[in-house]
Amino acid sequence: MPFCPICQSEYRSGICVCANCEVELVASLDDVRPKMNDAEIEAYLSKRELAIVAHSTYDRLKPVRDLFCKNNIPGIILRGESCGAGCSCKGGLGELDLAVAVEDVERAVEVLESQFSDMIGSVADDAELDLVGQGRAEVNLEAEELICPACGEKLPGGQVECPECGLYLGIPEEK
């Protein structure tokens, strides 16, 4: 029975292309995830609405895109929107966006949460992180110095966003 390498749907013998993803079917799903190529990813994403899931430099986004690919989530790295000042903030020089199809966002978040949980599991006893609940870190925004729970960057107190990874550290405003 053939399978889709992207959505992993199983098809009857004789069918060669996935009806949803429009990619060639494979005989087995063994080791199919790492074999997603750029043409298959481009074909899948070209007909779908995209959602930005990360914003950073290419060196930081490429491993995340590869992680998505290994977990059967096609992603593409795009040039971010520039702030107009020519700096490296919010899509300026060197800043890019990682996008996935809107329908894949939930799975992408699950993969990232799982990866993050695995990473912080190895440092759970670290005195710098006060871990609470399911792998989530509590940040004291009143402290003189903050440590970003996502990337470990040391920040001056009062920061609401990590300048290194972009994680929002503040408390959302009530509407």
| pLDDT, tens only, 1-45 | 888 877 778 899 999 998 887 778 888 876 555 456 788 888 888
- What are the b/e assignments for 79-93, b being 16+ CB within 10 Å? ebeeeeeeeeeebee
CA atoms in the 13 A half-sphere facing the CB of 119: 13
pLDDT at site 119: 67
Q: What percent of the chain has pLDDT over 70?
A: 70
Q: How many CB atoms lie within 10 A of CB 58?
A: 12
pLDDT at site 100: 93
CA distance 6 to 59: 25
pLDDT for residue 123 is more than 60:
no
Q: Which of 152, 153, 170 is nearest to 161 (CA)?
A: 170
Q: Coil, strand or helix: which one is 55?
A: strand
pLDDT digits (tens, 9 = 90+) for 86-110: 554 544 446 899 999 999 999 898 8
- Domain limits, the chain: 1-35, 48-122, 126-169
Specify the CATH number for 48-122; select among 3.30.160, 3.40.91, 3.30.70, 1.20.120. 3.30.70
